[in-house]
């Protein structure tokens, strides 16, 4: 029996103004429909605020219908071990999410303070050994440089454990330039943290693997997970690559689930020891699918 009835895959965006097309926010919703998935919609959202309104509607519709939803987001759910302690005072993912949500400003038109915040945190939490780097060339920030700083000698380091297994993955500390994910991560975590606290549906949602461990079955009807679409070869065609990726991943997950394979992607990655699993669950998180590539190929 499938774990989920519906699958929402989101290609997030750190845009500072409303945007459409390439490098903007795309999302695709599909549901189990007999032999394969039926795509309900594939849409391009010009702002994060507009998408969050749609997310609320999807969660409400799904839970009211007594169905189950997997929502996958392509930004990091955590930072390298040691970051939560430095930034939030405790090695705990939820404490860090609250810290980020409190200090990130992300307005309905996508204008936000991600670069100012990264600069300030470099000065206040990483003085003398900055972690955040990268900025628009036309802007200047007192403590946010345009070049990658020397590798840190103390935690947190540049990469999470999961990223060392994802080909081409960028560091969450990189805030700008090609492929950067730092801005998306700050804005995405802030949005999801507020959603858990303010939507009225927080008790129906589990954030994997933080609240579930590496479980293969879930008590709550909605699961949020971090994804990395580049793990999967494109099978769908679209003029915009981001759209093709979300359409591809949503169908792959639905097919895996129909064949009782999706549950195994949530299982403990075989390369992690007990201590590394504990770190992933407490603060770093994990990317759904990493460690199970042979299973994916077989599917």
pLDDT above 80 for 185: yes
Confidence (pLDDT) at 298: 42
* Percent with pLDDT over 90 in the chain: 87
* Percent with pLDDT over 70 in the chain: 98
Confidence (pLDDT) at 294: 61
User: Which residue is listed with tokens 């060392």?
Assistant: 164
The mean pLDDT value of the chain amounts to: 95
Contact in structure between 27 and 45 (CB atoms under 8 Å): yes
User: What's the pLDDT tens digit per position in 65-105?
Assistant: 999 999 999 999 999 999 999 999 999 999 999 999 999 99
297 confidence band (pLDDT: 50, 70, 90): very low
- In order, the DSSP letters of 42-95 are EEEESSHHHHHHHHHHHHHHHHHTT--EEEEESS-S--STTHHHHHHSSS-HHH
Mean pLDDT score, 4-11: 98
User: What's the pLDDT tens digit per position in 17-27?
Assistant: 999 999 999 99
The gap from C-alpha 180 to its chain's centroid, in whole angstroms, comes to 13
Cα 115 from Cα 132, distance rounded (Å): 9
Cα 66 from Cα 48, distance rounded (Å): 27
Contact in structure between 53 and 108 (CB atoms under 8 Å): no
pLDDT above 80 for 279: yes
User: What's the pLDDT tens digit per position in 251-276?
Assistant: 999 999 998 899 999 999 999 999 99
């Amino acid at each position: 029996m499938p774990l989920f009835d519906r699958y929402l895959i989101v290609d997030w965006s750190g845009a500072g103004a409303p945007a459409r097309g390439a490098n903007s926010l795309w999302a695709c919703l599909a549901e189990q429909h007999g032999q394969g998935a039926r795509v309900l919609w594939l849409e391009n959202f010009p702002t994060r605020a507009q998408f969050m309104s749609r997310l609320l509607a999807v969660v409400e519709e799904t839970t009211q219908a007594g169905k189950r939803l997997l929502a996958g987001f392509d930004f990091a759910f955590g930072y390298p071990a040691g970051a939560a302690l430095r930034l939030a005072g405790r090695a705990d993912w939820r404490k860090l999410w609250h810290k980020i949500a409190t200090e990130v400003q992300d307005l309905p038109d996508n204008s936000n303070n991600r670069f100012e915040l990264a600069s300030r945190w470099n000065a206040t939490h990483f003085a003398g050994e900055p972690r955040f780097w990268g900025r628009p060339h036309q802007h200047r920030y007192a403590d946010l440089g345009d070049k990658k700083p020397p590798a840190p000698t103390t935690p947190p380091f540049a990469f999470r454990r999961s990223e060392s297994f994802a080909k081409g993955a960028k560091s969450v500390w990189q805030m700008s330039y090609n492929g950067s994910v730092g801005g998306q991560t700050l804005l995405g975590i802030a949005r999801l943290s507020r959603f858990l606290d303010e939507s009225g549906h927080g008790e129906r949602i589990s954030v994997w693997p933080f609240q579930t461990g590496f479980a293969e079955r879930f008590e709550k009807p909605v699961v949020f997970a971090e994804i990395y679409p580049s793990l999967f070869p494109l099978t769908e065609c679209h003029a915009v690559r981001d759209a093709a990726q979300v359409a591809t991943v949503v169908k792959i997950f639905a097919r895996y689930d129909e064949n009782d394979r999706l549950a195994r992607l949530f299982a403990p990655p075989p390369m992690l020891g007990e201590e590394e699993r504990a770190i992933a669950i407490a603060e770093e998180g994990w990317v759904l699918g990493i460690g199970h590539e042979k299973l994916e190929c077989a599917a």
